[in-house]
Structures are given as structure tokens and as C-alpha cells.
């Protein structure tokens, strides 16, 4: 199985940039696609898709969210961070089955 590693938590000041990383145990990229996706989960709610294929913004997601990366290293950036962004962020790979998720990064405000 492909293991996705995320840092447990990140503290950022409001209005600053947050950079959340996800490292895969093997490449999740093909010649055409980077098969990494990002979700936001607020307390007591279901996850919401933010980014698909590493860098594509999902429908209705604000442009302050962006994604990048290829191969084994991927990044979700939130700039600027707003109070409403307090949540846990998960990455998920679809390069091969079983589909796997990272353990999540909890975004906190300094």
C-alpha cells in the first residue's frame, strides 16, 4: 500500500501563508497526472474536496487554496489563512488501489 505521511499539526497566524505537506512512500504521478487530492474536514463535519490531481481547485473552493507537487512530494497552500480555515487537512492518493489517506494535518491559529 502507498503510505502518505503528513505532519500532525501546523500553527499559523491569521493573514499568513500555511503550507501543508504530504509525502508518499512511492510516486503517485503518471506521465499525465499527479494523483494526489486534498480534503478539508472541520470539527463535526464530513470532509470536503479542495484540490484534485494535485493542483486543480474543486468547485466553489476559494482561490486562496492551491496545490502543487509531483512524484512523492505534494503541498497544499492556504494564503492568506482565515479563521474559517481552522480544520484538519487530509491528502489522498489514487495512483493505485487500495486508495489511501494521510493521517491529517490540523491547522491551528497562533
CB closer to another protein out of 15 and 98: 98
Provide the grid cell at 93.
492518493
| DSSP reduced 3-state for 84 | helix
18: Cα separation from own chain's centroid = 11
Segment near another protein (CB under 8 A), from 15-23, 67-75, 76-84, 100-108? Answer: 100-108
Segment near another protein (CB under 8 A), from 12-20, 49-57, 67-75, 76-84? Answer: 49-57
Cβ contact 28:34 at 8 Å: yes
Largest separation between any pair of C-alpha atoms in the chain: 40
Q: Using CB under 8 A as the criterion, which residues of the chain lie in contact with another protein when the complex forms?
A: 33, 35, 37, 39, 45-49, 52-53, 58-59, 88, 90, 92, 94, 97-101, 103-104
Amino acid at each position: 500500500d502507498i503510505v502518505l505521511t503528513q505532519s500532525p499539526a501546523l500553527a499559523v497566524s491569521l493573514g499568513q501563508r500555511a503550507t501543508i505537506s504530504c509525502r508518499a512512500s512511492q510516486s503517485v504521478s503518471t506521465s499525465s497526472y499527479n494523483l494526489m487530492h486534498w480534503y478539508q474536514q472541520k470539527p463535526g463535519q464530513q470532509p470536503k474536496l479542495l484540490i484534485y490531481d494535485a493542483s486543480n481547485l474543486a468547485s466553489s473552493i476559494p482561490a486562496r487554496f492551491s496545490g502543487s507537487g509531483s512524484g512523492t512530494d505534494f503541498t497544499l497552500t492556504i494564503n492568506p489563512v482565515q479563521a474559517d480555515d481552522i480544520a484538519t487537512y487530509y491528502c489522498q492518493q489514487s495512483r493505485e488501489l487500495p486508495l489511501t489517506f494521510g493521517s491529517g494535518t490540523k491547522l491551528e491559529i497562533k
